[in-house]
Amino acid sequence: MKTKTVTNLFKKVCLVALALVSFTTIAQEEEKKWFDNFSLSGSVDGYFRYNFGSQNDNSSAPATSFANESGFALGMANVIAGYEGEKVGFVADLVFGQRGEDAVFNSTDSAQIVNQLYAYWNVTEKFKLTFGNFNTFLGYEVISPTGNFNYSTSYMFSYGPFSHTGLKADFAISDKWSAMLAVMNPTDYTENNPFDTYIVGAQVGYAVDNGSAYLNFRYGNEGEPGAVGPTFQADLTTGWDLAEKFYLGVNATYLSTEPQEDGDASGFYGVALYPQFKATEKFTLGLRGEYFSVYNNGLIDVVGLDAEGDGDVIAATLTGSYDVGNLTFKPELRLDSTSEDFFTDNDGDATKSLSSFVLGAIYKF
């Protein structure tokens, strides 16, 4: 009798202990799963830039974004918080510093640090809705220096859209093919819409293990009605691993803005090649070769223009990328050559070319 009582008591103790262990394990798993749904990432960067054969007082620099200051200069601090649930989630992408200010230039003081701010809903496995402010889907390069191989940026990136605010729908057509449709504010008006106009965007994508290609479009009136006609842009972005250590990226774009009344359309077009060679596990060498052309005075103070308002530039940027843990150094040599005088030399005289050196330092977390 005593033995039976002890045995029953032992069984009860074991059951209670097992229940407690199971409860603790489940609680830990739930806590871990809940915690893992949140993410925090970002980067900080800065650079040094020096002109060869030209003044180094910011009076002569490539007319592209983010790396135009002379001497030692700041990039930005980038903090990205996100939540990824089973069906819904959000991204809050905040930027601080000169590069961040340049990236959100059409925002007012209240949103000057917001690079992206959107929520999304995975309606099905193949259909996703995103609402809010998101970086552009056009082009090869991005705002964050961690997403680009070259530290300085291209002309096509600098004068294409940076960000949009609106509603977009992503479709997974198959394992390889995708599509996107969007309705958005005028380009780079991310905090609000001061005009009674909207633009539409579209994308068709193809991706496999060794590369991808995306054909992008945007169309609509980008400003107050009566000022300009609608803008149309078509953009191709593609990149492929051609060998174990060799990668080739390509970006081509065409943009045209129609006049509201009589006259000729204005805009730009260009193409850039991005070959990269991975020399070692830590060091990669890459080249960006870009041709960019402006027609009918589509852009002012970008390249030198002739009497008809046309001009073009050829820019070659040789960049090395060396990793030290989470820190990446990017030394680069850049040569910009315009069809008309645009830069100045050491004597302050107009010239068609500028050569410069940039050393970027990027820490990613």
Domain layout of the chain by residue ranges: 41-364
For residue 304, pLDDT over 90 is answered with no
pLDDT at 4: 45
Q: Are 331 and 151 in contact (CB under 8 A)?
A: no
For residue 1, pLDDT over 50 is answered with no
Residue type, 7: T
For residue 69, pLDDT over 70 is answered with yes
Whole-angstrom CA distances from 177 to 134, 207, 211 are: 22, 7, 13
* Residues in the chain, overall count: 365
82 φ, ψ (degrees, to nearest 5): -145, 155
pTM of the model: 0.88
Residue-wise over 259-273: b if at least 16 C-beta within 10 A, else e? Answer: eeeeeeebbbbbbbe
What digits encode the pLDDT tens for the residues 96-144? 999 999 998 777 766 789 999 999 999 999 999 999 999 999 999 999 9
3-state DSSP: the chain helix, strand, coil percent, rounded to 5? 15, 50, 35
Q: Are 94 and 113 in contact (CB under 8 A)?
A: yes
Q: Hey, is 189 helix, strand or coil?
A: coil
Just give the CATH number of 41-364: 2.40.160.10
Neighbours of 253 (CB within 10 A): 26
- How far apart CA 38 and CA 33 sit, in angstroms, is 9
